[in-house]
Structure 1
């Protein structure tokens, strides 16, 4: 049954038609093509059982008498008229290599270049021919604006990928650095060297502070202790100091030797004392920089001023000697007196 082949778009042709002896084999049935284009085919008297299918698979066969060349293809139905049996379809999912080969076969056939099987195999196996033809055929024409937009998107994509790569490298590097060279405290607090004022004997404490001013002068009466056996003993400030802590209230009983007040001379520096695992102490040196994070969220730069072994008097409930050392640090900025005795976190850089 002779088949009449036309361009896939009769009224608006977009591709040149070729009169090359070609056979289209679909679902086991063969159709001889007289003329066709690189985008698709159209046929009359097309079998209805094939025409109703959306996708057809098969081969595009170039017949060179003594040999033929087949290209696997998929065709998507564009239209099918059941009354006239007219069918049209377009090539889809054509691989780059197959597309390049089809273009070469057309050009070579029209120019008479292919004359034997050896010529065909030589051309098909030539990577340079395929790449040259493929690059030319797949090149997309763009306007100046489209080209600028396309290049901008490419550059933006490269920047995003590069940024992600840099962030990953930085994160990995910082993680390794932190694990090896940064020591974090087990516990830290703001401290100030102070004088502890204790109860001179058993009795009831009565505060004598006239106001809430933390400054006390030498000889000022801070409190009195009314003894159990009668009598009164006074507690005076031994210096011009800051009253940093009050541990009792009026009317509270205090045993002899119990700490009642903590005072510090005004020029006494405020320091950070951090408890560090013994296994990390060997990494730390005097002068190492550190970052202090106070409980209120404030961050400060600091440096290590001294390392003191854990005191054997600081036993835990099992009676074991502490497994930490105390590192003393000073800050570059001044610490508000209100932060004394507040907790902090210390990160010491040992690199």
Structure 2
């Protein structure tokens, strides 16, 4: 379902998606009220929901859509402004699965290719997560029967191999996340906050620049600890949280006994900038086995390769489990690589990390 008051945007997105073999636009709506009326009778997995619309805006419609169609994944769409970034993050707290920034102008259908690529990738990621559960339920509707689904896996997945935790007490917590990450970060850091007085937290969340500054503000609100976007030359201090700014890899360098942030705008890694891998690799040289790494929900495999090097260097790697992940790409990649100490539901990660931070048994 595409919900947008702009006929140009609705038409543009519909043409993109209907041209793909695995995606179908079931219905388009011009405002939130129209969407709420139609959602119950539509065979919809994902809703692309605009924020600013007449009659009923996206934030008003969001809880109504989730109530009318339990399990539907809502992808917020907004132009890349500070106000809309703040609204999008609030929407994630209310149950939206993810967001995608819209281009500033779509005149004559000339929307940036990046918007199209990101939109399609997120729809596919969210759709793969939802369709298997629907296949296990009641018979599909005729519309669903026409839609090609991903083939079932040929064999059951191999059991996940776990590794012992580091024998060294953590001196830094490093977190990587993407799709669904903001809400997971809010939950994790809100619960973990009492244990963070003795060490810093560094985060790479795949987000554009306008969003990362707002993300830091929201994290500070839920964690009740200082949280800022990292800047070159900024000293890393215990009790504080640092978020990689959009468009830059956040890396670290030691000067004497202190650690400082060094931003890098070199090529994307794993199609991402910021990327988790450069962040972790720069930490290994400084903290070695004293790194506690946690990979949360997200598409792709960013963080897997460097997390393997963290584990090989004696550090500890944790991952969010599939059931509680919006998309089990990044955490699934590290889990299936056999480098994790534990793979846990989001609600249990903070408790385990707290025990590791104080040097207890996890």
TM-score by length of 2: 0.17
More helix by share: 2
Structure 1 or 2, whichever has the larger Rg, is 1
More strand by share: 1
User: Relative contact order, CA 8 A, sep 6+: which one is greater?
Assistant: 2
TM-score by length of 1: 0.17
